[in-house]
């Protein structure tokens, strides 16, 4: 994934936004450290069987909250 410095973003914001609108994902850096991801927002609706939407039911069925590790395994299959 390409990186874009804050200084570059200030100089070329319109061109960088255009790249994001075309589907390019980038990491914005500030003083050499990654601080955020720049990526396009999809107009598509997520699938109804997306595992993310099952998290509340899975947590309730266990009678407790899910840890971040448990959520990652459910969503990403890790």
* pLDDT value for 60: 64
**pLDDT at position 18:** 94
pLDDT at residue 24 in the model: 93
Identify the three-state secondary structure at position 51.
helix
Predicted local distance difference test score (pLDDT) of residue 63: 60
Spell out, as residue ranges, where the chain has pLDDT lower than 50. none
- Provide the phi-psi class of 42: left if phi over 0, else alpha when psi is between -120 and 50, else beta: beta
Give the pLDDT score at 33.
Answer: 95
Q: Which domains does the chain have, with CATH numbers?
A: 2-38 (3.40.1620), 45-78 (no CATH)
Q: How many helices (H) and strands (E) does the chain have?
A: 3, 3
Q: Which pLDDT score is estimated for 62?
A: 53
Nearest to 28 by CA among 43, 47, 10: 10
């Amino acid at each position: 994934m390409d990186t874009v410095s804050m200084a570059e973003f200030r100089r070329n914001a319109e061109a960088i936004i255009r790249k994001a609108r075309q589907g390019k994902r980038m990491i914005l850096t500030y003083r050499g450290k990654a601080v955020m991801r720049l990526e396009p927002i999809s107009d598509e609706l997520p699938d109804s069987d997306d595992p993310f939407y099952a998290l509340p039911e899975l947590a309730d069925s266990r009678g407790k909250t899910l840890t971040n590790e448990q959520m990652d395994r459910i969503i990403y299959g890790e």
